[in-house]
Each structure stands twice: as C-alpha cells, then as structure tokens.
C-alpha cells in the first residue's frame, strides 16, 4: 500500500508540476505539430512511427474520475453516458507523453500526452467499440517499467464489473459548458 500511495503522490506532484504545460497559450500556433491525437490505439503503438519512439520511455498515467461516451438514439440525437469506477475510486488511464520544443527558443516547451485505447469490454461496447486502457493500482509500477515488446498483456479492456455508467445531461455535448452537474444522472 505504501508503494501505491507513493505513486499517487508522485502522479499528483507531476500533474501539478506539468499543469502549466498542458493548457497554455501558444503565440505561434502554426508552429505546433499538425497531428496532435488525443488517443492512441494499443494495437498499433509499436508499428506507428508517431508513437514508436515513446513506447519504451515515456509512459504515464492520467488520473480521472470518469469519462463520457455517447449512445446513438436517432440519426442526429445522442445520449451521453458518464462512465466511472463502480467502487467510486479514481481511475488511471494508460498514456504516453512527449515534449514539443518550439523553433523559437524563447518560448517554453509544451508537454502533452495521449491516452491509449483498446477494444471495449462487454459493458462499454453497448456504447462504443473502444475505451481507454484503465490500470488497477497494483499494475501502475509495472506500466512505468514495461518492456515495449510485452505491452499487449497490459493494454487490455478493464474487466467487466469494474466500471459503471449512467445517462447524463446533453449539456456535456457543449465543450464550453463547465457546470459541475455534468456528471449528475438523468432519467
């Protein structure tokens, strides 16, 4: 348990340290890399040149209380669902991070990350065919030390029963809406 607490504190400290790097005004957005994916498919990490150089060294965990997926109800109508751990604990998405260095040496580097996704488990598959890779605390240290050739054993869907989901307001469809009621259940 001490090791897990250490990792949680370390993740929290790293997030606080890197917080300014994730969301910052960039004076020359045309210099940013053109491809900036938020998700990376577990099945192609080692084969895609975009991620290959990160797989062996830049592993991270992205803490989250939950995530959203949408169910198609009609042609242009979707119902959002909030997906979270059934036990109420935070979850850790598996990810890769990298630092982009601008051509202008006076500007600060920007550290970003991508969430690794895998095929959906049985429960999530009712909404979407993919889901983030979610690691249990006992596997966090293993992820940080993982051999790139043996990743497939770790990059699997969460077991059925670990996650719960319920419908939430369509307000979450608006990226500008920041209300705390985004995760409240609706009927």
Q: What is the CATH number of the domain that holds 146?
A: 3.90.1680.10
Note if the pTM is more than 0.85: no
pLDDT value, residue 16:
45
Contact (Cβ atoms closer than 8 angstroms) between residue 148 and residue 56 = yes
Q: What range defines the domain where residue 167 resides?
A: 2-183
Measured in whole angstroms, the distance separating CA 42 from the mean position of its chain's CA atoms is 12
In the chain, which residues have pLDDT < 50? 1-27
pLDDT of 38 reads 79
pLDDT for the residue numbered 100? 77
What does the pLDDT read at residue 9? 42
Using a pLDDT cut of 90, give the percent of the chain over it: 36
In the 8-state DSSP scheme, what is residue 75? T
The pLDDT assigned to 35 comes to 56
Split into its structural domains, the chain has a count of 1
pLDDT (0 to 100) of residue 8: 43
Length of the chain in residues, anyone? 187
Predicted confidence at residue 18, as pLDDT, reads: 43
Distances (CA, A) of 148 to 40, 44, 66: 15, 12, 27
Q: What local confidence, expressed as pLDDT, does residue 105 receive?
A: 74
């Amino acid at each position: 348990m001490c090791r897990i607490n250490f990792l949680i504190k370390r993740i929290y400290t790293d997030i606080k340290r890197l917080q300014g790097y994730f969301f910052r005004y960039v004076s020359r957005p045309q210099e940013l890399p053109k491809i900036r994916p938020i998700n990376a498919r577990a099945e192609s990490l080692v084969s895609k040149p975009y991620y290959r150089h990160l797989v062996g060294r830049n592993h991270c965990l992205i803490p989250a209380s939950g995530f959203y997926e949408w169910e198609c109800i009609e042609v242009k109508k979707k119902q959002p669902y909030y997906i979270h751990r059934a036990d109420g604990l935070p979850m850790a998405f598996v990810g890769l991070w990298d630092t982009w260095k601008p051509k202008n040496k006076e500007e600060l580097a920007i550290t970003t990350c991508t969430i690794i996704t895998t095929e959906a488990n049985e429960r999530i598959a009712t909404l979407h065919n993919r889901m983030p890779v979610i690691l249990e605390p006992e596997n966090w240290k293993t992820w940080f030390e993982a051999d790139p050739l043996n990743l497939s054993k770790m990059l699997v869907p969460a077991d059925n029963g670990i996650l719960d989901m319920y419908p939430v307001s369509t307000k979450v469809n608006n990226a500008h809406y920041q209300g705390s009621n985004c995760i409240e259940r609706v009927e």
